[in-house]
């Protein structure tokens, strides 16, 4: 998916109002079909656009009220877009939630300031709804299927263009999550592309299985669709006293979001949404100790989201989550749905109390970070933390992390691919591997302890064509008890320096160390410290050797 930029948002919003003049002449508001509306608060700019007056927002005890009145007027008059006037932080004080009801809400460098406890989850909410109960499947569906049998109660309801969801009690997250609050169960949403008899054809193959014996169910979503929320800054008079999400978009299709969060009591959440373009700038979310410190969260069964997430001094600038639902016995909550096919760009800086700048919880599949940069953070901070299956980092950079430049959680993360980029200057470690990790052509340098660490469970991990240099002690350190297999260290440049005095430390199991250049080391024994006899070492090059070293080292 393409990266979303502010100019793209503005252009797409302009097109959505069917080419109306950028300013337009105000016409009589008497044509608005909303007799209870406060007409003096809004101006009709065209048949598609109304604006809220600056005076009404300044004079209101609660600025959310005239905004909601304008939205209600737009709904009653079939007007698609409500525009807000410019305003600085502290001018438009909001004390209740705003429900967009399918309208676009467009600011003009408009700041809305939360000044009190808001009973809704977010200041601004755009939501669709489930238009059917969750109906049990009559026939199982398998991962990879692109047609699904429609249960009898939904016959006639499911049609081409319908957004459907599937759910089953099939665990989708790694083994370390079993029985914890991080365990996630299968849910995904799809667009129906056609109907053949009793079967619905869907837009892409199912990611997970939906067996009848696992309580598989189908449901129909009535999404809020084709709207924008743009050019709005959300702030608060007290981020710690008024913890409130700035924006929640849920059960949506084709939304465009472009907002800024400034010293806010909560971030933005996108939930159960398909085909979205989102830009969030999160500048200081002081509640680094809970979910209100997340800048942008992509959650639940979201699919095909292009996100630009930037900012500083948050718990996480970006993360993923499942959808939290009550357990069947009502005693707690459990997580449902993996956000899938998510592309993230942006740059972020960690604060003293930040955790990972860019993060995924175990919920998530096919999350790609592209050209992201992360800098700094406190003693617990990683530049990037990956806890889900099937993630990618392409040309990303992590510098000066308080802990690890790139952490992959053992037992949760797997099949992570890193292409290019740089992971440098972390207080402890450059990159920690996990099962199936593949690192290609990255620079891993100047980290306080080791460039790369290998833990238990890092089966089939590969480090290839990388430069691993100037780390505090070791280029690569095997910290495991030997409980991994098929790790490959191949074609890397791992030079000796004043700080990096060992190339590979304590390699174990059947690890293969092949075709590497150990610059400034004179021998295998000097470069590779205390390998187990089962380690395969071949075709490596050393500065003082006239021929490559081959064969296993015993």
pLDDT, tens digit, 9 for 90 and up, residues 183-228? 999 999 999 999 999 999 999 999 999 999 999 999 999 999 999 9
Mean pLDDT within 12-29: 34
Q: Which residues contact 179 (CB under 8 A, 6 or more apart)?
A: none
Mean pLDDT within 284-293: 94
| Nearest residue to 439 (alpha-carbon basis) of 480, 467, 398, 413 | 467
Determine contact, residues 347/397, Cβ cutoff 8 Å. no
Amino acid 9: pLDDT: 43
Tokens of 278: 């989102």
CA distances for 529 relative to 482, 503, 506, 534, angstroms? 15, 8, 6, 14
Instruction: Give domain status of residue 79, yes or no.
Output: yes
Helix H or strand E encompassing 112: strand 104-114
- Tokens 């927002």, residue located: 57
Banded model confidence at residue 40, pLDDT cuts 50, 70, 90? low
Amino acid 137: pLDDT: 98
107 and 176 share a domain?
no
215 and 233 share a domain?
no
105 and 197 share a domain?
no
Amino acid 237: pLDDT: 97
The DSSP call for residue 214 is: G
Helix H or strand E encompassing 374: strand 373-376
**Residue 497, Cβ neighbours under 10 Å: how many?**
14
- Percentage of the chain lying above the pLDDT 90 cut: 87
Q: What is the distance between the alpha carbons of residues 394 and 328, in angstroms, rounded to a whole number?
A: 41
| Range of the structural domain that residue 364 is part of | 225-405
Single out the residue in 405, 437, 463 at which a domain terminates: 405
Q: What is the distance between the alpha carbons of residues 52 and 223, in angstroms, rounded to a whole number?
A: 26
Helix, strand, coil share of the chain (percent; to 5): 10, 45, 45
Q: What is the distance between the alpha carbons of residues 497 and 3, in angstroms, rounded to a whole number?
A: 39
- Tokens 């509640």, residue located: 287
Single out the residue in 116, 145, 175 at which a domain terminates: 116
353 and 204 share a domain?
no
92 and 237 share a domain?
no
Q: What is the distance between the alpha carbons of residues 374 and 232, in angstroms, rounded to a whole number?
A: 25
Residue 262 reports pLDDT greater than 80 = yes
Q: What is the distance between the alpha carbons of residues 525 and 508, in angstroms, rounded to a whole number?
A: 15
What's the number of domains the chain is made of? 3
Instruction: Write the CATH number for 394.
Output: 2.160.20
421: left (phi over 0), alpha (psi -120 to 50) or beta: left
Amino acid 330: pLDDT: 87
Return the higher-pLDDT residue of 328 and 242. 242
76 and 108 share a domain?
yes
Instruction: Give domain status of residue 440, yes or no.
Output: no
Banded model confidence at residue 545, pLDDT cuts 50, 70, 90? very low
Question: Side-chain half-sphere of 188: how many Cα atoms within 13 Å?
Answer: 31
Instruction: Give domain status of residue 449, yes or no.
Output: no
Instruction: Give domain status of residue 432, yes or no.
Output: no
**Residue 143, Cβ neighbours under 10 Å: how many?**
12
Global model pTM greater than 0.85: yes
- Tokens 């003096």, residue located: 40
278 and 327 share a domain?
yes
The torsion defined by the Cα of 256, 261, 266 and 267, in degrees rounded to 10, comes to 30
Q: Lowest mean pLDDT: which of 92-101, 143-152, 326-335?
A: 326-335
Instruction: Give domain status of residue 152, yes or no.
Output: yes
Determine contact, residues 323/335, Cβ cutoff 8 Å. yes
Amino acid 340: pLDDT: 98
- Tokens 């939205």, residue located: 71
229 and 218 share a domain?
no
DSSP count for the chain of H helices, then E strands: 4, 51
Single out the residue in 348, 372, 405 at which a domain terminates: 405
Instruction: Give domain status of residue 516, yes or no.
Output: no
Instruction: Give domain status of residue 445, yes or no.
Output: no
63 and 182 share a domain?
no
The torsion defined by the Cα of 314, 315, 320 and 323, in degrees rounded to 10, comes to -110
Residue 552 reports pLDDT greater than 50 = no
Q: What is the distance between the alpha carbons of residues 74 and 301, in angstroms, rounded to a whole number?
A: 30
Q: What is the distance between the alpha carbons of residues 362 and 409, in angstroms, rounded to a whole number?
A: 9
Determine contact, residues 322/299, Cβ cutoff 8 Å. yes
Instruction: Give domain status of residue 67, yes or no.
Output: yes
Tokens of 292: 């209100």
166 and 232 share a domain?
no
Mean pLDDT within 329-357: 96
Q: Lowest mean pLDDT: which of 2-16, 470-484, 499-513?
A: 2-16
236 and 288 share a domain?
yes
* Structure confidence by residue, pLDDT tens digits, 414-466: 999 999 999 999 999 999 999 999 999 999 999 999 999 999 999 999 999 99
How does 150-181 read in b/e, with b if 16+ C-beta sit within 10 Å?
bbeebeeebeeebbbbbbbbbbbbbebbeeee
Amino acid 47: pLDDT: 85
305 and 376 share a domain?
yes
Indicate the average pLDDT of the chain: 92
Determine contact, residues 436/461, Cβ cutoff 8 Å. yes
The DSSP call for residue 18 is: T
Tokens of 364: 């998530």
Determine contact, residues 354/314, Cβ cutoff 8 Å. yes
* Structure confidence by residue, pLDDT tens digits, 100-110: 999 999 999 99
Check the CA dihedral 88-89-90-92 and report its sign.
positive
Amino acid 544: pLDDT: 65
């Amino acid at each position: 998916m393409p990266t979303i930029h502010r100019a793209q948002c503005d252009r797409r919003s302009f097109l959505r109002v069917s080419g109306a003049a950028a300013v337009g002449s105000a016409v009589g508001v008497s044509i608005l079909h909303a007799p209870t509306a406060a007409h003096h608060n809004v101006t009709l700019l065209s048949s598609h656009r109304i604006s809220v007056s600056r005076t009404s927002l300044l004079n209101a005890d609660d600025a959310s009220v005239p905004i909601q009145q304008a939205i209600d007027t737009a709904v009653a008059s079939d007007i698609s877009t409500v525009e807000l006037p410019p305003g600085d932080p502290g001018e438009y004080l909001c004390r209740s939630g705003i429900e967009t009801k399918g309208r676009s809400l467009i600011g003009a460098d408009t700041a809305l300031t939360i000044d009190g406890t808001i009973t809704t989850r977010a200041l601004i909410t755009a939501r669709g709804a489930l238009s059917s109960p969750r109906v049990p499947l009559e026939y199982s569906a398998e991962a990879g299927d692109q047609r699904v049998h429609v249960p009898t109660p939904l016959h006639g309801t499911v049609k081409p263009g319908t957004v459907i969801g599937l759910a089953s009690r099939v665990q989708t997250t790694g083994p370390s999550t079993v029985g914890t609050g991080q365990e996630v169960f299968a849910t995904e949403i799809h667009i129906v592309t056609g109907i053949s008899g009793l079967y619905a054809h869907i837009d892409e193959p199912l990611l997970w299985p939906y067996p009848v014996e696992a309580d598989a169910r189908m449901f129909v979503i009535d999404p809020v669709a084709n709207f924008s929320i743009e050019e709005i800054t959300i702030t608060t008079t007290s981020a710690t006293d008024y913890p409130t999400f700035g924006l929640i978009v849920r059960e949506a299709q084709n939304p465009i979001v472009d907002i800024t969060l400034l010293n806010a009591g909560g971030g933005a959440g996108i939930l159960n949404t398909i085909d979205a373009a989102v830009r969030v700038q999160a500048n200081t979310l002081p509640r680094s100790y809970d979910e209100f410190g997340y800048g942008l969260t992509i959650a639940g069964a979201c699919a095909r989201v292009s996100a630009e997430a930037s900012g500083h001094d948050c718990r996480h600038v970006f993360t993923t989550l499942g959808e939290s639902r009550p357990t069947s016995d009502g005693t707690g909550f459990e997580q449902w749905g993996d956000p899938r096919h998510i592309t993230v760009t942006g740059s972020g800086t960690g604060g003293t109390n930040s955790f990972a700048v860019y993060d995924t919880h175990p919920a998530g599949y096919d999350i790609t970070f592209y050209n992201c940069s992360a800098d700094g953070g406190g003693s617990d901070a990683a530049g990037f933390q990956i806890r889900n299956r099937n993630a990618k980092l392409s040309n990303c950079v992590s510098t000066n992390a308080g802990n690890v430049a790139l952490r992959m959680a053992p037992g949760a993360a797997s099949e992570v691919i890193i292409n290019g980029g740089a992971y440098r200057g972390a207080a402890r470690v450059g990159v920690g591997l996990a099962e199936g990790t593949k690192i290609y052509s990255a620079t891993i340098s100047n980290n306080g302890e080791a460039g790369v660490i290998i833990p238990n469970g890092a089966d089939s991990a590969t480090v290839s064509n990388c430069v691993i240099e100037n780390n505090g002690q070791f280029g690569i350190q095997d910290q495991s008890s030997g409980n991994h297999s098929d790790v490959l260290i191949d074609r890397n440049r791992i030079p000796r320096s004043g700080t990096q005095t060992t190339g590979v430390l304590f390699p174990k199991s059947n690890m293969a160390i092949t075709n590497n250049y150990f610059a400034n080391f004179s021998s295998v024994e000097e470069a590779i410290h205390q390998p187990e006899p089962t380690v395969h070492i071949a075709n490596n090059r050393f500065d003082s050797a006239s021929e490559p070293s081959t064969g296993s080292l015993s």
